[in-house]
Chain A
Amino acid sequence: MIDLSEIPVAKPAKGSAGKTGTWRVLRPVIRYDKCTRCRLCIMYCVENTIDQEPNLYPKIDYDYCKGCGVCAQVCPTKAIAMVPEVK
Chain B
Amino acid sequence: MLVQKGKVLALVGNHAVAYAVKQAKPQVLAVFPITPQTTMLEKLSEYIDKGELRAELIKVESEHSAMAAIFGAALAGPRVFTATASQGLLYMTEMIYWVGGQRVPLVAAVATRAIASPWSIWDDHQDFVSKRDAIWVQMMAENVQDAYDITLMAFRISEDPRVMMPVMMGFDGFILTHTMERVEVLPDSVVDEFIPPREFKLIDFDNPLGIGAVATPDNYAKYRKKAMEAMERAKSVIKEVMANFEEITGRKQYGLTECYMCEDADYLLVGMGAWVGDMRVAVSRLRERGKKVGLLKIRVFRPFPREEVREALKGRKGVVVFDRAYSFGSGGVLSLEVKANAYGLTTPIHTVVAGLGGKDVRPRDIEGALEDLTEGKLEEERWLA
Instruction: Report which A residues bind B (CB closer than 8 A).
Output: 1-12
Contact = CB atoms under 8 A, between A and B. Distances in A.
Interface string B203-224: 0000011111101000100010
Contact of A3 (B101, B161, B202): B161
Contact of B101 (A4, A5, A8, A11): A8
B213 A9 contact: yes
Given A5-B226, A8-B219, A10-B209, 10 more contacts: A1-B199, A2-B202, A6-B164, A6-B226, A7-B164, A7-B202, A8-B102, A8-B213, A8-B215, A9-B211
A8 B164 CA distance: 13
Interface SS, B side: loop
Given A7-B223, A8-B101, A8-B102, A2 B200 contact: yes
A6 to B, nearest CB: 5
B interface residue count range (under 10 / 10 to 19 / 20 to 34 / 35 or more): 20 to 34
A76 B199 CA distance: 54
Interface in B94-110: 101-103
B230 interface: yes
A10 B223 CA distance: 13
Contacts of B213: 8-10
Contacts, number: 43
B102 A7 contact: yes
Question: Closest 6 interchain pairs by CB?
Answer: A10-B210, A10-B213, A9-B209, A7-B103, A8-B223, A6-B226
A11 B199 contact: no
A29 to B, nearest CB: 34
25 contacts: A2-B161, A2-B164, A2-B201, A2-B202, A3-B161, A3-B164, A5-B226, A6-B103, A6-B230, A7-B102, A7-B103, A7-B202, A7-B223, A8-B101, A8-B212, A8-B213, A8-B219, A8-B223, A9-B202, A9-B210, A9-B212, A10-B210, A11-B208, A11-B209, A12-B208
